[in-house]
Amino acid sequence: MKKATIIAKNLTLGYSNRKPKKAVLENLSFQLFENELTCLLGPNGVGKSTLIKAILGQLKSWEGELILNGRDVQSFSNSELSKALSVVLSEPVLPGNMTVGQLVALGRIPHTGWTGRLDAHDRDLVENALYLTKIEYLKDERLSEISDGQRQKAMIARALAQDGRVMVLDEPTAHLDLVNRYQIMHLLRDIAKKQRKSILVVTHDLEIALETADRLLLLGTDLPLISGLPEDLVVTGQLDRILPGDEFLFNIEKGKIEQKKTMSKLIFEGNPTVSFWVKKAIEKAGIRELEHPVFISEGDFTLFYLDQEFHRIGELVDFIFDQKSS
Amino acid sequence: MKNSRTTILFFAAILALIFSFLLNISLGSVSIYPDEILEGLLIGDWIKTSHAQIILNYRLPKALVAMLAGIGLSLSGLQMQTFFRNPLAGPFVLGISSGAGLGVALLMLAGSAFGIAALGSGLSAWAIVGAGTIGAGLVMILVSLVAWRVQDSMTLLIVGLMFGSAVSAVVSVLSYFSGADALKLFTVWSMGSLGGLAWPQVLVLSSVVLIGIFPIIFSVKSFNAMLLGERYAKSMGVNPVYLRWMMILSTGLLAGSITSFCGPIAFIGIAVPHLSRIIWKTADHRILFPGTALLGAILLLLCDVIGQLPGSAQTLPINAVTSLVGAPIVIGLVLKRNFSKEF
């Protein structure tokens, strides 16, 4: 039996100081489990940050319950909450003069005495957090002198050192390059498994989330929250519901979001992998149909179209484009 | 290795403090050698009785006041810079010192301006400190209300300047309507000076500064957490509202009492925290607070020495010297380094 760390039951959230008084999120029910990485996805403005605020105890729910470790979140004091839950926020962090080691040590603040002195146990946890995030070699570097990806790992290490059962990360991979995005999400997955944490990540990276998450929470505008195994959501076609309008859909075979095609009539002969990319390039140029087939010769990579030879896909696209417009 | 560097620097700073203290009390209209001073202070064996008079009743209290003012102002500056996450924050820049000035002006001038029986020439030291602290605290509350909403350095700075000029305007109005005696009393105060305080007043100042340091000791950890911003601090169990009141109490007491006794002293509050960040190369407040206090004391003692040198018989107003020393430091910081990186 999996242990739930956070349980939301019929949660309704909103800001009471705004007029007119309108709920941002209504009737939300979901669970987060120990040992699991959960990704929360949804378009901008759908209320992801509002939900995070509620989980951090900064926003009182209008209706329903939000239970953390078996207790209502609102019943936690600030210091109790800091021992149960840690965060990585999306806002940038200023102090460039601080070393990575000092930053991670700040995670022990809820557990130390009034001077903030670290004992042996605290230091072990700090070292362990650096080890798990694979940034031990950065320990004495200053925050102003490391890359964005390294800084984000340091922030994760800090949250890890805080040693709560639940970790919440708000868009930890925004502004990062592809490699760092994969690294960080896989890192979080490892941490959830090895450290028995329950990790909630807000992200816009559907593809990476599909690959790494144990559970997805999908928030769409005017739709109830969908929760489930990523693979389940793919197979049942529920992923399409968070994509805006009718323009895009989730391609099950390729595991990617694509623009909906209007019956493209492109014929290729030759290697299917190469023809996939050639087709992509032609479609990107806005061409949906060709009167003649394209032949692909693999040896020295040549494309044949209307008795012409091309050695680059770009040349073919330009040729077709010129032909169409003339 | 890093810890030993920190220790060595602290050791050096303490030596520098002793050196500047001795330098400070030996220089003046009459130069008295440090060995004579030490002999006199420790054994009571003075070469001339006039020297004993000068040292005991004039230079010693003045040097102590310089140290206290340096410590208090720079500690206020450090707290404000971290709390507002703003490298330009400081008691003078944000109008806290002007607030203290207003408190003192009200106490000294309002009586005569409103035609009420003057509070009398025998203004007690405690009354002056009280007025200054309340004035500083009130401006601090206003500024922190504004800073709560805006985090932009420029906006906060402009608001601070506006508070400063509004307060000076009120002081001008008060001066215009007040009587000659009260006005003279206030004008002398506003020129600012580290000297001229008798032992009882020095005692009052030291106890208030000591009380003002207490809230800092109990919130060192919270200041470290605040470096990551208010939301992170909160997620680590720090209560920012509580910390804000502790800071208002501390800076109000420190900047308020010092300004009420010594007049406005510019730049120490903003420049010294940056210097100590550069020297100790850390963001940890457990090192920064004592480091900043030491540097503040050293710098103000040296500024006072510079103020005494020209002509030897006359002294420059301390505010002019600190501005001359402090302004280039701040300009240098702005030009040379990225402030947010140094933070």
Domains of chain B: 2-342 (1.10.3470.10)
Our count of domains for chain A comes to: 2
Q: From A117, which residue of chain B is nearest by alpha-carbon distance?
A: B221
Q: List the single best residue of B83, B153, B236 to mutate versus A (max A Cβ within 10 A).
A: B236
Instruction: Please indicate whether, in this complex, the C-beta atoms of A78 and B237 are within 8 angstroms of each other.
Output: yes
Q: In this structure, is residue A199 part of a structural domain?
A: yes
| Structural tokens at position A229 | 């195994």
User: What does the pLDDT read at residue A16?
Assistant: 76
Please enumerate in sequence order all residues whose Cβ is within 8 A of that of A184, keeping only pairs 6 or more positions apart, or say none: A149, A152, A153, A156, A172, A173, A176
Do A173 and A30 share a domain, yes or no? yes
Q: In this structure, is residue A39 part of a structural domain?
A: yes
Q: In this structure, is residue A255 part of a structural domain?
A: no
Do A241 and A170 share a domain, yes or no? yes
Q: In this structure, is residue A259 part of a structural domain?
A: no
Q: Report chain A residues whose CB lies below 8 A from the CB of B239.
A: 78
* Backbone torsions φ then ψ of B51, nearest 5 degrees: -60, -40
Do A197 and A296 share a domain, yes or no? no
User: What does the pLDDT read at residue B150?
Assistant: 65
Instruction: Please indicate whether, in this complex, the C-beta atoms of A82 and B342 are within 8 angstroms of each other.
Output: no
Do A168 and A101 share a domain, yes or no? yes
Instruction: Please indicate whether, in this complex, the C-beta atoms of A140 and B2 are within 8 angstroms of each other.
Output: yes
Do A37 and A185 share a domain, yes or no? yes
Query: From CA B272, how far away is CA B291, in angstroms rounded?
Result: 9
| Structural tokens at position A54 | 């509620």
Residues 138-167 on A with a CB inside 8 Å of B are 140, 144, 162
ipTM comes to 0.78
Please enumerate in sequence order all residues whose Cβ is within 8 A of that of A33, keeping only pairs 6 or more positions apart, or say none: A2, A3, A4, A5, A198, A214, A215
Instruction: Please indicate whether, in this complex, the C-beta atoms of A107 and B236 are within 8 angstroms of each other.
Output: yes
Type of residue found at B33: Y
User: A85 to chain B nearest CA, in Å?
Assistant: 8
CATH code of residue A76? 3.40.50.300
DSSP A143-156: GGGS-HHHHHHHHH
Average pLDDT for runs of 10 along chain B of length 343: 80 94 83 79 77 83 93 93 82 81 82 50 68 84 76 69 84 83 76 79 90 91 88 87 84 87 85 89 90 95 83 73 83 67 57
User: What does the pLDDT read at residue B204?
Assistant: 87
pLDDT per position as a tens digit, B102-112: 888 888 777 65
Query: From CA B22, how far away is CA B37, in angstroms rounded?
Result: 8
Long-range pairs, B216-220, Cβ under 8 A, ≥24: B216/B75, B216/B79, B216/B250, B216/B289, B218/A114, B218/B246, B219/B243, B219/B246, B219/B247, B220/A114, B220/A115, B220/A116, B220/B285, B220/B286, B220/B289
The DSSP 8-state label assigned to residue B72 in this structure reads H
User: A83 to chain B nearest CA, in Å?
Assistant: 8
User: What does the pLDDT read at residue A76?
Assistant: 87
Instruction: Please indicate whether, in this complex, the C-beta atoms of A102 and B239 are within 8 angstroms of each other.
Output: no
Nearest Cα neighbor of A12 from A65, A70, A77, A76 is A65
CB distance from A79 to chain B under 8 Å? yes
DSSP A152-195: HHHHHHHHHHTT-SEEEEESTTTT--HHHHHHHHHHHHHHHHHT
Q: Report chain A residues whose CB lies below 8 A from the CB of B338.
A: 96, 144
User: What does the pLDDT read at residue B43?
Assistant: 76
* Backbone torsions φ then ψ of B118, nearest 5 degrees: -55, 150
Q: Report chain B residues whose CB lies below 8 A from the CB of A110.
A: 236-237
Which residue from B2, B218, B343 is facing A94, i.e. has the nearest CB? Answer: B343
Nearest Cα neighbor of A159 from A243, A234, A56 is A56
Give yes or no for a contact between B119 and B184, defined as CB atoms under 8 angstroms apart.
no
Alpha helices per DSSP H over chain A: 48-55, 78-84, 100-106, 120-132, 148-161, 178-194, 206-212, 230-235, 272-284, 313-325
Do A11 and A147 share a domain, yes or no? yes
Q: Report chain B residues whose CB lies below 8 A from the CB of A98.
A: 227, 282-284
Q: Report chain A residues whose CB lies below 8 A from the CB of B276.
A: none
Q: From B220, which residue of chain A is nearest by alpha-carbon distance?
A: A115
Instruction: Please indicate whether, in this complex, the C-beta atoms of B342 and A115 are within 8 angstroms of each other.
Output: no
Q: How many CA atoms, within 13 angstroms, populate the side-chain half-sphere of residue B233?
A: 23
Q: How many CA atoms, within 13 angstroms, populate the side-chain half-sphere of residue B137?
A: 16
Through-space distance between the first and last CA atoms of chain B, rounded to whole angstroms: 23
Do A167 and A202 share a domain, yes or no? yes
User: What does the pLDDT read at residue A275?
Assistant: 81
Instruction: Please indicate whether, in this complex, the C-beta atoms of A102 and B284 are within 8 angstroms of each other.
Output: yes
Instruction: Please indicate whether, in this complex, the C-beta atoms of A109 and B237 are within 8 angstroms of each other.
Output: yes
Query: Which position has the token pair 């008295």?
Result: B32
Query: From CA A264, how far away is CA B20, in angstroms rounded?
Result: 84
Q: Report chain B residues whose CB lies below 8 A from the CB of A94.
A: 85, 227-229, 340, 343
Do A173 and A118 share a domain, yes or no? yes
Which residue from A56, A78, A97 is facing B342, i.e. has the nearest CB? Answer: A97
pLDDT tens for the 326 residues of chain A, in order: 678 888 988 888 888 776 667 778 888 888 899 889 999 988 887 888 888 888 888 888 888 888 888 888 888 888 888 888 999 988 877 677 888 998 999 989 888 887 778 888 889 999 999 998 888 898 888 888 888 888 889 999 999 999 888 999 998 888 888 888 888 899 999 989 888 899 999 988 888 888 889 999 888 777 778 888 888 888 877 777 766 666 667 776 666 777 666 556 677 787 778 888 888 888 787 777 777 888 888 777 888 888 888 888 888 888 888 887 77
| Structural tokens at position B87 | 């490298």
Q: In this structure, is residue A321 part of a structural domain?
A: yes
- What are A121's strand-pairing partners? none
Do A291 and A224 share a domain, yes or no? no
Pairing assessment for the beta strands A63-68 and A71-72 based on DSSP bridges: antiparallel
Do A148 and A104 share a domain, yes or no? yes
Do A42 and A145 share a domain, yes or no? yes
Do A174 and A277 share a domain, yes or no? no
Note down the domain range covering A275: 268-325
Q: How many helices (H) and strands (E) does chain B have?
A: 17, 0
Query: From CA B282, how far away is CA B276, in angstroms rounded?
Result: 9
Q: In this structure, is residue A254 part of a structural domain?
A: no
Q: Report chain A residues whose CB lies below 8 A from the CB of B342.
A: 96-97
Query: From CA A132, how far away is CA A213, in angstroms rounded?
Result: 18
Q: In this structure, is residue A257 part of a structural domain?
A: no
Q: In this structure, is residue A250 part of a structural domain?
A: no
User: A114 to chain B nearest CA, in Å?
Assistant: 6
Q: Report chain A residues whose CB lies below 8 A from the CB of B341.
A: 96-97, 144
Q: Report chain A residues whose CB lies below 8 A from the CB of B235.
A: 56, 81-82, 85-87, 89
Which residue from A85, A91, A97 is facing B277, i.e. has the nearest CB? Answer: A97
